């Protein structure tokens, strides 16, 4: 029983990482209809930025995190200007390839800057030796608890932002009709740049939080990036709640697939179920079925 | 005279043959020769993506898995099971086609990002299975000592095999290029441009998409087979997601709709990392940024950029002259029922868009369907043409019950239509648009071309034939839609608000066109707001309000009915008419 | 007529001088050795160590006067961490006709991929991949600078079963050529003692969560765990989770060489305390290793590990062979390498056999308070 609990918890923990990364995906998609395959690299960059200030410059953890977040914001702005802006009126395919090109660039740039050895970043909380607590035979890793909490808080904040604030409504208006939004006097370009900055920060935050568990490596973002994309698809693309539910579902699926089916085929199992799920319910958990009018 | 028949296409073939003959001679050393034949193998698989992505517009991030299927068919077949190379090759193609059909079948329900997801999943599952199912695949160690194919001459040197690989690439390139302007290729591009319009013109979009995936899978596997015998060793990690992404990048960087572009992209992205090797650590950074720059600055890829520069130099071949008048359907005595609608209903959830409508369209008449905004006219048209399934009721077309059938099936029975909001194949030329319409009536390519040419002439579009549809003014685009529908020689033509957005003189032209068509015996069902147009053109009117029929009959009589006037709130227009 | 003759003589003489000087340059010019390195891709983590080990050895050889009066020069190519990448990089290296030998990959799958090309090229390739089959396929041109997995499994099974008296063995391995090979050899070793593993679990490179594996091992009732991990980060994540979920203290863990790498120590920290590992390299294992450690630390200010040790040894063995060989023809070098006996390298004592295997030892180590202590060196019978 304890082992079932442990497996479930592992799934939720992994899922929360996917969910947090998926949030960034969804935000950019909502604002711009762009699928950003470089989202996983933001995760990697966030981790390395924080690592550089904590382990390299020996700054206080909090101060280092604030500086890293600032840098991520700037990075997001540059990304929006360099990749999104020139491609804003093109179909989704070139944009996907451009973001993949960018991700090759970032990954190998990081390899050139930070080197090839994996690095370790200390966890946010360092109480006791094990980095967690065992309750009822189930080990709770503090870092995962923090990730889950951060994910849920961010989800709530984002949900509230979109539903209850003027700025959030404006963002939604942009995603629905850019020209109309422009006519309504919404500064579309600025708002989109802001979205990219925030999404980059979100991705980077996910990286900072997983770095103590996954370790830092130039390719650490590619798998979470791909899984986060799947998570947002399951959730119903472009839905904030869907990204969370999709991420957690994917994590749990993987974890139980690993435990009860096969450890090496767990990803295959997870993807197979995702495909079957999509065939049955093409719009995902929360997506709305959009019929095309003739 | 002889020289005159030597067209640009022939020059391209000649150039290709010369390139295939010379490249292995010019490229020296085992290493460069290997990169060359690798480029050939990759180009073949990339050409598969040209078909599925470039022509049919469906994204696939699983091309590396088909490449892997072909490679493993050769590896397993020849090394593990001792099969003849060509037999193993064919078996690989068969497995790939099956996989392609399965993947293509998912497009029945999924498109866009969702399709991307499904293909990624397919790809990841393939890699995992090949890595871990050692009994099947030889496991992560892969398969070594793969033989070269038996051929008329022994392919025992890298150079000879490079000739073989490049010759295969050229053949595939020519075939894929020929596909582009074939019936199937045009249908694929129609699906890419506008699936609903393609379906309504009789293109079986499901079959076309599945065929595209199957062709793409076959080419992927063929490339993989050539790769396996070129490299002599295969292992699962060569056929992973990263490789699929690379195939996609090749096609997009080169130019997705052209064969030359895909070959160029494959060649470039194979050689580029080799050229950039000198940069050591940062070469992949440069590689990534080159991809981004090409995508940003050359929207149609490198080849698109080249053709853009040379467009003024190449004159398009003129369309064939129209022989004889535009053929018309019919042949039934006037007044015989063509389309019979009985108690038709269409509910969207709780919304009763159409609620028990009956009417009959008879041979030779212009039947108008009118009613205020939101009354359900267009919904009726969409149900008749098969875009929506009816909730209840009967639709009988030419004596056959067609209610609930797919639009392409109904179209093939002899019904074509135009759309209220234009649904042209925007990136295609007028000529191509009309050719696709002409395919409905069947016959060989000559017959299709003749029909298309007459339809274009009838609609006075001849000088615009080689313009892209999206570059034309609105009114002209509406004429192209009618030409496209007419080229299919329909028994019944549905016109969905043909006059909307037209200028007064364009409306007058439209009236003349419809009158001419009527004079030639074409049956038409017209949905229209413009009452003066309706009263000028129609012989029979059915009035719809709130999804129900409120009046029917000859124009003068119907328009005078008080219920009709009431329906048009503030019924000045009706009264004036 | 005479003028033309003089002109011709001038040309011929000029050509002769030119060729002679070229020949002289070639005689005195550097001896080129190629090195395949994972500069990019998933296995780039071992790049620096492998590069520096070879670099140091080349420097030492050159300081001591080089070989036959010529200096050694390393030419590096990126193998992109992939199989085709390795084959291409290898072909690129041997394109240069002056290349006398290549220091190949440490990854077995890449060497398997290169084997047909190596056999065709007929050039000595120093390899670090430990998959049993590499030297058992009849290739004359690969020379292994690490003991193969058949030995490692033998050593581990012997130690766990006979010395630690454990009899319920669990196996966890990476699902790749290295891990699967190790698994098969361990099972073979157990079978020879009439035993079966109680549980066998495979993982994929890059997995981040090992709860399922840890749980399965825990529930199997195993008293000892034998692991074959390819990637050090995977091993470190596994170790951390195994410790957190209470697997470790209750069970004896002995891991394949990746457990003793510096990166593993850096990443997993105290999670590895109390575990056993086997290693073909230890900085304190023998005098040659100690000297290597000092020289490496002085030059790079880092500690040595097996990645740096094997390339270091490969260069030195190659240099020794080239010095002893009458000329630098591939066959002469090959004969000279095979003639190397009882040469102590950083790894251990090299005795090349006909198949090209140089080593037959393993150290058994124990992690005591975070540092690895050599318990003993075990030599096994070759096969």
* pLDDT, position B177: 92
DSSP string, C288-331: HHHHHHHHHHHHHSS---HHHHHHHHHHHHHHHHHHHSSS--HH
What is the total count of domains within chain A?
Answer: 1
Q: Residue A117's closest chain C neighbor by CA?
A: C45
Locus of tokens 């629905």: A176
Taking CB atoms and an 8 Å cutoff, what residues of chain B touch C83?
Answer: 142, 233, 235, 237-238
Taking CB atoms and an 8 Å cutoff, what residues of chain C touch B141?
Answer: 108-109, 112, 131, 133, 177, 180
Say if residue B283's pLDDT is above 50: yes
Contact B113 A92 (CB under 8 A): yes
Q: Name the residue facing A3 among C203, C219, C244 (closest C-beta).
A: C219
> pLDDT digits over B559-573, tens only?
888 888 777 755 445
Domain range for A43 is 2-117+135-280
CA distance A44 to C20: 56
Contact B423 A294 (CB under 8 A): yes
CA distance B171 to B151: 16
Listed by number, the residues of chain A in 82-111 with a beta carbon closer than 8 Å to a beta carbon of chain C are 108, 111
Q: How far is C275 from chain B (nearest CA, A)?
A: 28
Backbone φ and ψ for B197, nearest 5 degrees, come out as: -65, -40
Whole-Å CA distances, A248 to A139, A175, C195: 18, 26, 41
Domain made up of B337-576: CATH architecture? 3-Layer(aba) Sandwich (3.40)
CA distance A44 to A42: 5
In a domain? residue A290: no
What confidence category does residue A263 fall into, taking pLDDT thresholds of 50, 70 and 90? confident
A10 in contact with chain C, both atoms CB, cutoff 8 A: yes
In a domain? residue A251: yes
- Percentage with pLDDT > 90 across chain C: 56
Q: Name the residue facing C91 among B30, B277, B284 (closest C-beta).
A: B30
Contact C112 B139 (CB under 8 A): no
Q: How far is B141 from chain C (nearest CA, A)?
A: 5
Backbone φ and ψ for A237, nearest 5 degrees, come out as: -55, 130
Mean pLDDT, all residues of chain B: 88
Cβ proximity of C112 and B141 under 8 Å: yes
A268 in contact with chain B, both atoms CB, cutoff 8 A: yes
What fold, for C27-147+284-352?
Answer: Rossmann fold (3.40.50)
> pLDDT digits over B178-232, tens only?
999 999 999 999 999 999 999 999 999 999 999 999 999 999 999 999 999 998 8
Q: Where in chain C is the domain with CATH 3.40.50.2300?
A: 27-147+284-352, 150-279+364-379
The domain over range C150-279+364-379 is classified in CATH as 3.40.50.2300: yes
> pLDDT digits over A30-83, tens only?
888 788 889 999 999 999 999 999 988 888 989 999 999 999 999 999 999 988
Going through C164-250 in order, the beta strands assigned E by DSSP cover: 169-174, 199-203, 224-228
Locus of tokens 């923090």: A146
Average pLDDT value for residue range C247-272: 86
Q: Residue C174's closest chain A neighbor by CA?
A: A264
Taking CB atoms and an 8 Å cutoff, what residues of chain B touch A265?
Answer: 128-129, 132
Contact B132 C175 (CB under 8 A): yes
Q: Give me the CATH number covering residue A165.
A: 1.10.3470
In a domain? residue A122: no
Contact A223 C202 (CB under 8 A): no
Say if residue B108's pLDDT is above 70: yes
Contacts of B157 (CB under 8 A, 6+ apart): none
Tokens of A107: 């990954």
Task: Quote the DSSP letter at residue B468.
Answer: B
In a domain? residue A125: no
Q: Where in chain B is the domain with CATH 3.40.50.300?
A: 337-576
CA distance B199 to B201: 5
In a domain? residue A287: no
In a domain? residue A292: no
Q: How far is B249 from chain A (nearest CA, A)?
A: 6
Contact B274 C78 (CB under 8 A): no
Contacts of C121 (CB under 8 A, 6+ apart): C90, C94, C141
Locus of tokens 């998912």: B106
Q: Name the residue facing A294 among B109, B296, B382 (closest C-beta).
A: B382
Taking CB atoms and an 8 Å cutoff, what residues of chain C touch A266?
Answer: 212
* pLDDT, position B2: 44
Q: Name the residue facing C233 among A6, A215, A266 (closest C-beta).
A: A215
Cβ proximity of A108 and C42 under 8 Å: no
Q: What share of chain A is helix, strand, coil (3-state, %, to 5)?
A: 75, 5, 25
What confidence category does residue C203 fall into, taking pLDDT thresholds of 50, 70 and 90? very high
All chains having 3 or more CB pairs closer than 8 angstroms to chain B: A, C
CA distance C33 to C211: 45
> pLDDT digits over B427-469, tens only?
899 999 999 999 998 888 989 999 999 999 999 998 999 989 9
Q: Name the residue facing A217 among C47, C201, C233 (closest C-beta).
A: C233
Q: How far is C81 from chain A (nearest CA, A)?
A: 12
Pairs across B and C, CB distance < 8 A = 83
């Amino acid at each position: 029983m304890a082992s079932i609990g442990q497996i479930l918890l592992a799934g939720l923990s992994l899922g929360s990482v996917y969910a947090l990364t998926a949030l960034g995906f969804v935000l950019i998609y909502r604002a711009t209809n762009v699928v950003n395959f470089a989202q996983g690299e933001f995760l990697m960059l966030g981790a390395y930025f924080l690592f550089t200030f904590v382990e390299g410059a020996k700054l206080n953890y909090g101060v280092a995190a604030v500086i890293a977040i600032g840098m991520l914001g700037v990075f997001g702005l540059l990304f929006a200007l360099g990749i999104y802006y020139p491609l804003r009126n093109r179909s989704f395919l070139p944009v996907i390839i451009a973001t993949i090109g960018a991700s090759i660039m970032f990954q190998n740039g990081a390899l050139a800057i930070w080197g090839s050895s994996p690095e370790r970043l200390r966890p946010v909380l360092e109480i006791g030796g094990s980095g967690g607590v065992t309750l009822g035979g189930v080990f709770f890793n503090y870092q995962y608890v923090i990730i889950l909490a951060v994910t849920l808080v961010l989800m709530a904040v984002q949900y509230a932002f979109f539903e209850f604030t003027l700025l959030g409504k404006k963002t939604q208006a942009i995603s629905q009709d850019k020209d109309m939004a422009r006519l309504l006097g919404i500064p579309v370009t600025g708002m989109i740049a802001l979205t990219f900055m925030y999404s980059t920060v979100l991705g980077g935050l996910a990286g900072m939080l997983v770095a103590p568990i996954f370790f830092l490596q130039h390719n650490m973002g590619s798998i979470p990036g791909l899984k986060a994309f799947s998570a947002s698809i399951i959730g119903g693309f472009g839905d904030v709640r869907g990204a969370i539910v999709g991420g957690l579902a994917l994590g749990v699926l993987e974890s139980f697939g690993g435990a009860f089916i096969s450890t090496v085929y767990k990803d295959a199992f997870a993807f197979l179920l995702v495909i079957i799920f999509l065939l049955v319910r093409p719009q995902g958990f929360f997506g709305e079925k959009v019929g095309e009018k003739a | 005279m002889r020289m005159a028949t030597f067209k640009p296409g022939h020059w391209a073939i000649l150039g290709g043959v010369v390139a295939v003959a010379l490249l292995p001679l010019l490229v020296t050393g085992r290493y460069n020769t290997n990169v060359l034949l690798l480029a050939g193998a990759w180009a073949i698989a990339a050409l598969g993506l040209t078909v599925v992505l470039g022509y049919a517009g469906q994204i696939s991030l699983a091309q590396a898995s088909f490449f892997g299927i072909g490679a493993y068919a050769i590896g397993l077949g020849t090394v593990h099971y001792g099969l003849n190379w060509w037999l193993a090759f064919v078996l690989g193609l068969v497995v790939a086609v099956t996989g392609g059909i399965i993947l293509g079948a998912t497009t029945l329900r999924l498109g866009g990002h969702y399709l991307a997801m499904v293909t990624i999943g397919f790809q990841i599952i393939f890699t995992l299975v090949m890595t871990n199912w050692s009994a099947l695949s030889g496991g992560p160690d892969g398969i070594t000592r793969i033989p070269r194919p038996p051929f008329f001459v022994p392919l025992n040197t890298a150079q000879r095999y490079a000739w073989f690989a490049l010759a295969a690439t050229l053949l595939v390139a020519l075939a894929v290029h020929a596909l582009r302007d074939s019936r199937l290729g045009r249908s694929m591009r129609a699906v890419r441009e506008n699936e609903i319009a393609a379906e309504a013109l009789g293109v079986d979009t499901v079959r076309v998409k599945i065929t595209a995936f199957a062709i793409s899978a076959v080419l992927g596997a063929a490339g993989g087979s050539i790769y396996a015998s070129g490299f002599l060793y295969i292992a699962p990690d060569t056929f992973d997601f990263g490789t699929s992404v690379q195939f996609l990048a090749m096609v997009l960087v080169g130019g997705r709709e052209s064969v030359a572009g895909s070959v160029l992209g494959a060649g470039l992205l194979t050689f580029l990392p080799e050229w950039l090797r000198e940069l050591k650590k940062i070469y992949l950074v440069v590689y990534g940024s080159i991809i981004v720059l090409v995508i940003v600055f050359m929207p149609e890829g490198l080849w698109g950029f080249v053709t853009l520069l040379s467009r003024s130099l190449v004159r398009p071949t003129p369309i064939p002259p129209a022989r004889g008048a535009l053929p018309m359907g019919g042949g039934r005595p006037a007044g015989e029922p063509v389309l019979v609608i009985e108690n038709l209903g269409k509910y969207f959830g709780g919304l009763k868009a159409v609620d028990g409508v009956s009417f009959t369209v008879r041979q030779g008449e212009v039947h108008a369907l009118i009613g205020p905004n939101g009354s359900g006219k267009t919904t009726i048209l969409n149900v008749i043409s098969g875009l929506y399934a009816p909730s209840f009721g009967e639709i009988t077309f030419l004596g056959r019950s067609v209610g609930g059938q797919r639009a392409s099936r109904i179209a093939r029975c002899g019904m074509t239509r135009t759309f209220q909001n234009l649904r042209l194949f925007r990136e295609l030329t007028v000529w191509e648009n009309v050719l696709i319409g002409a395919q409905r009536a069947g016959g060989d390519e000559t017959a299709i071309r003749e029909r298309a040419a007459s339809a274009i002439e009838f609609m006075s579009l001849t000088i615009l034939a080689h313009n892209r549809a999206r570059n034309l003014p609105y009114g002209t685009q509406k004429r192209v839609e009618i030409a496209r529908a007419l080229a299919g020689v329909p028994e019944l033509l549905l016109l969905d608000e043909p006059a909307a957005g037209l200028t007064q003189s364009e409306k007058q032209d439209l009236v003349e066109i419809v009158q001419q068509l009527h004079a030639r015996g074409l049956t038409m069902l017209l949905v229209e707001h413009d009452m003066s147009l309706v009263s000028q053109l129609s012989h029979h009117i059915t009035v719809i309000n709130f999804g129900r029929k409120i009046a029917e009959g000859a124009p003068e009589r119907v328009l005078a009915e008080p219920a009709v006037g009431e329906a048009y709130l503030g019924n000045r227009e009706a009264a004036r008419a | 007529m005479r003028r033309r003759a003089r002109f011709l003589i001038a040309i011929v003489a000029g050509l002769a001088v030119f060729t002679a000087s070229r020949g002289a340059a070639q005689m005195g010019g550097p001896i080129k050795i190629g090195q395949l390195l994972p500069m990019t891709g998933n296995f780039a983590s071992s790049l620096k160590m492998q590069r520096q080990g070879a670099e140091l050895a080349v420097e030492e050889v050159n300081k001591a006067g080089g070989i036959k009066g010529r200096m050694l020069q390393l030419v590096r190519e990126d193998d992109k961490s992939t199989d085709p990448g390795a084959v291409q990089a290898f072909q690129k290296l041997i394109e240069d006709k002056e290349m006398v030998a290549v220091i190949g990959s440490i990854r077995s799958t890449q060497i398997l991929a290169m084997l047909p090309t190596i056999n065709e090229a007929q050039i000595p390739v120093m390899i670090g991949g430990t998959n049993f089959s590499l030297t058992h396929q009849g290739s004359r041109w690969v020379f292994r600078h690490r003991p193969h997995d058949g030995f490692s499994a033998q050593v581990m099974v012997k130690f766990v079963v006979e010395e630690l008296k454990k009899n319920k063995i669990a196996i966890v391995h990476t699902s790749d050529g290295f891990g699967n090979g190790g698994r098969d050899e361990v099972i073979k070793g157990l079978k020879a003692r009439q035993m079966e593993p109680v549980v066998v679990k495979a993982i994929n490179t890059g997995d981040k969560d090992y709860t399922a594996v840890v749980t399965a091992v825990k529930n199997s009732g195993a008293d000892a765990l034998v692991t074959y991990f390819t990637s050090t980060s995977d091993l470190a994540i596994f170790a951390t989770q195994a410790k957190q979920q209470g697997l470790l203290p209750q069970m004896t863990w002995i891991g394949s060489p990746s457990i003793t790498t510096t990166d593993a120590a850096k990443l997993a920290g105290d999670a590895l305390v109390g575990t056993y590992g086997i290693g073909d390299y230890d900085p304190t294992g023998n005098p040659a290793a100690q000297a290597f450690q000092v020289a490496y630390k002085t030059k790079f200010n880092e500690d040595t590990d097996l990645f740096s040790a094997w390339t270091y040894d490969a260069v030195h063995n190659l240099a020794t062979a080239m010095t002893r060989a009458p000329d630098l023809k591939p066959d002469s070098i090959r004969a000279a390498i095979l003639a190397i006996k009882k040469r102590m390298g950083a790894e251990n004592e090299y005795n090349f056999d006909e198949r090209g295997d140089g080593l037959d030892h393993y150290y058994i180590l124990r992690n005591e308070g975070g540092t690895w202590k050599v318990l003993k060196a075990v030599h096994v019978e070759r096969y």
